[in-house]
Amino acid sequence: MISPLSNDLFDADGPLVITPPRFGDSRGWFSESYNQRRLAEAGFTTCFVQDNLSFSAHKGTLRGLHYQSPPHAQGKLVGVMTGAIRDVVVDIREGSPSYGRWAAIELSEENGQQLWVPPGFLHGFVTLTDNTRVAYKVTDYYSKEHDGSVAWNDPDLGVDWGVDDPILSDKDAAAPRLKEVAPLFPAGWDGA
């Protein structure tokens, strides 16, 4: 049900893949997309304060790389309601052995997987289908003063999005490189 996104890339406080069980029959399936007690029994005790929904009409829509900095840093639990995405995380915790490294996973309505993106990581996704709906829970409320983006195509990060010419918001198209905004999560930052 819960496993690290990449055993060899991030430390124990890194991103996690959560796969809620599905129960199906001839009508389709049912799944508890979030069950706090079940997750706590598995060692995941994060609390969420807000749910967000995102709709992208076209395949190739890229949203990211986003962050919300301390003291209002956000962790996110991301899942796909309809369609599919290539979901990307980048470790930007100064002093972390995986600083600047990225990983990606496909999340879809088909596989039902969710991605836990801890505070201290950039997050973004590109849609792999038209009419994609993404739902995510966050650990802190939105704060405009702490909200920001890093360039999706920052050459220092080298993220492989699987697209060459994505559909971007004005904010994401003008986002600076990581080295122009770092350190956002300085060494010794406790994650709170």
Q: Which residues are the active-site residues?
A: 66, 136
Q: Where are the alpha helices (DSSP H) in the chain?
A: 36-41, 170-173, 178-181
* Contact status, residue 64 vs residue 125, Cβ threshold 8 Å: yes
How crowded is residue 79: how many other Cβ atoms within 10 Å of its Cβ? 24
Exposed/middle/buried for 10, CB within 10 Å: 0-12, 13-18, 19+? buried
C-alpha–C-alpha distance, residues 5 and 148, integer Å: 24
Cα angle for residues 123, 129, 134 (degrees, 5° grid) = 45
Query: Which residue from 89, 83, 88, 78 is spatially nearest to 59, judged by alpha carbons?
Result: 83
Structure tokens at 87: 């979901």
